[in-house]
């Protein structure tokens, strides 16, 4: 099982099925405004600066945003 924990408060955000016990980091709903404030820039600008493709998903796995690299990759 993969335990996704908030990188700010360490609250468990969710679990994902897996053969291995692992911990992945995410951000909980309560800490997301803190993360955005610390970035000092709009979230989309931050995501677009990342070279790796990044998808932002909700709990139900619905994609709500993608950075420039992901948009480029998915447009192929
Ligand atoms: Zn948190």
Q: In the chain, where are the structural domains located? A: 1-40, 41-76
**pLDDT surpassing 80 at residue 15:** yes
For residue 5, the CA-to-ligand 1 centroid distance in Å is 8
pLDDT for 22 equals 95
pLDDT for 9 equals 96
For residue 48, the CA-to-ligand 1 centroid distance in Å is 23
For residue 21, the CA-to-ligand 1 centroid distance in Å is 21
**pLDDT surpassing 90 at residue 74:** yes
Would you say the pTM of this structure is higher than 0.85?
A: no
Spatial CA neighbour of 43 closest among 30, 57, 32, 51: 32
Q: Are 58 and 64 in contact (CB under 8 A)?
A: yes
Residues counted in the chain: 76
Stretch 16-45: mean pLDDT: 89
């Amino acid at each position: 099982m993969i335990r996704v924990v908030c990188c700010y408060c360490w609250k468990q955000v969710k679990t994902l099925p897996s053969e291995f016990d692992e911990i992945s980091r995410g951000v909980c709903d309560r800490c997301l405004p803190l993360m955005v404030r610390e970035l000092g820039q709009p979230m989309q600008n931050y995501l677009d600066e990342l070279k790796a493709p990044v998808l932002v998903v909700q709990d139900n796995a619905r994609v709500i945003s993608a950075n420039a690299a992901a948009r480029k990759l998915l447009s192929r």
